[in-house]
Amino acid sequence: MSKAKVVVVGSLNMDMVSHSLRLPAPGETLVGHDFVMAPGGKGGNQAVAAARLGASVAFVSRVGTRQHGEALLQALRDEGIDTSGSTVDPQALPGIAVIMVASEGGENSIVYVPGSNADLSPADVQASRALLQAAKVVVAQLEVPMPAIAEAFAIARAAGVTTVLNAAPALQVSDELLAVSDWLVVNETEAGQMSGEAEPLAAAHALLKRGPRQVLVTLGAQGALLVTGEGVQTASAATVKAVDTVGAGDTFVGGLATGLAEGMTAIEAVRLGQAAAAIAVSRSGVQSAMPRRAELS
Ligand code: ADP
């Protein structure tokens, strides 16, 4: 059987994380005790999650290589991800997140510079038309401009390819984009902010009315709600000892896309995403915590 094809249209960031006892006050210099530089970005994370779970993944993005961009692309290639659909821009910076973490109390401060993620254009996406048309599932998040996502989903829809919009971070999305999204995936906070409804089920129903074929709301350790025109299904999360829940949603979306690309039913694909996310939250790190398919029983 040839591998299930997933195309991710999204962001790549380099996360630069320093650890000190507390966060510095403005103007203060503190001595830290650890530093980690790791590839991230919701797009890259979801692509890696899907690749580890056995999908054949291609990544469509715009990557500045003035600093760190080449390392970001290489990290994807090391996971077997096809980066031929990524436009390289030697003049631009890639996305960079400068993160300070306080080891006492776990508070953090983050400066995020979107860099080349903000430059992904409909023309860049057009250049990957053939990749998109050959996919089973196309996935996007909101760390790249919406016109580029709309272009990707229009190409995918015309070719009968399933589209998955992970509306994260929480931004307002047009009804036109929702109407070409087979799946809208949001966490509880995003569902509330997008719909103005505090309660997840009411939020999901309100969002469903705006055009997607199905709405999936993730509820952390409480699992997920799948709402379609036919009704509501709940999927409880596995009970695990959560060590680091950062990236749970990205692992979930990568698993969902893999399951859908393999031809699973909606709820089976949701369960694959949940099984992968449950393992990821039981380990520290984001991409480094994402499981391989063989680890899922
Ligand atoms: P996000 O990272 O976007 O906030 P969630 O926290 O809702 O997303 O997590 C996404 C999915 O990951 C959940 O639906 C659940 O299946 C799984 N998950 C998250 N946290 C836990 C946890 N503590 N225990 C088990 N599964 C979890």
* pLDDT digits 0-9 by tens, 154-200: 999 999 999 999 999 999 999 999 999 999 999 999 999 999 999 99
Q: Which phi-psi region, left, alpha or beta, contains residue 16 (left: φ > 0; alpha: ψ -120 to 50)?
A: beta
Give the integer Cα–Cα distance in Å for 160 and 60: 19
Ligand 1 binding pocket includes 234 (Cβ within 6 Å): no
Closest ligand 1 atom to residue 219 Cα is 7
Dist. CA 26 → ligand 1 center (Å): 34
In a domain, residue 83? The reply is: yes
Please report the atom of ligand 1 found closest to the CA of residue 224: 14
pLDDT at 297: 76
Mutational test site, ligand 1, from 143, 245, 271, max ligand atoms within 8 Å of CB: 245
pLDDT for 2:
64
pLDDT in tens, 196-235: 999 999 999 999 999 999 999 999 999 999 999 999 999 9
Question: Does any domain span residue 31?
Answer: no
Specify whether the CB–CB gap between 54 and 272 falls below 8 A.
no
Measured in Å, residue 223 CA sits from the centre of ligand 1 at 7
Residue 231 lies inside a defined structural domain of this protein? no
Ligand 1 contact via 235 beta carbon (within 6 Å): no
Q: Is the CB of 193 under 6 A from ligand 1?
A: no
d(CA 275, CA 279): 7
| CA-nearest residue, atom 8 of ligand 1 | 249
Beta pairing class for 137-141 and 5-9: parallel
Residue 27 predicted with pLDDT over 80: yes
Nearest CA to ligand 1 atom 3: 249
pLDDT at res. 106? 82
Q: Does residue 207 fall inside a structural domain?
A: no
Residue 32 forms part of a structural domain: no
Q: Are 216 and 224 in contact (CB under 8 A)?
A: yes
The domain that holds 250 is classified in CATH as: 3.40.1190.20
The 10 Å Cβ neighbour count of residue 107 is 11
CA angle 145, 147, 152 (to 5 degrees): 100
- Supply the range of the domain harboring residue 58: 6-12+42-94+115-166+238-290
Return the closest-CA partner of residue 186 out of 152, 201, 136: 201
3-state secondary structure of 41: coil
How far does residue 249's CA lie from ligand 1's centre (Å)?
6
Strand blocks (E) in the chain: 5-9, 13-20, 34-40, 56-64, 86-89, 95-102, 108-113, 137-141, 162-166, 183-187, 214-218, 224-228, 231-235
83 pLDDT more than 70 = yes
Say whether 244 is catalytic. no
The token pair at 42 is 């919701």
Is the CB of 237 within 6 Å of ligand 1? yes
pLDDT at residue 232, rounded to an integer: 98
Ligand 1 center to 247 CA (angstroms): 9
Model's pTM, two decimal places?
Answer: 0.97
Catalytic residue among 15, 119, 182, 250: 250
Compute, in angstroms, the gap from residue 111 CA to the centroid of ligand 1. 24
Answer yes or no: is 24 within a domain.
no
Considering the domain boundaries, does residue 281 fall inside one? yes
- The pLDDT tens digits of the residues spanning 96-137 come to 999 999 999 888 999 999 999 999 999 999 999 999 999 999
Provide the pLDDT for residue 105: 86
List the strands of the sheet with 34-40, edge to edge.
34-40, 13-20, 95-102, 108-113
Q: How many domains does the chain have?
A: 1
220 within some domain: no
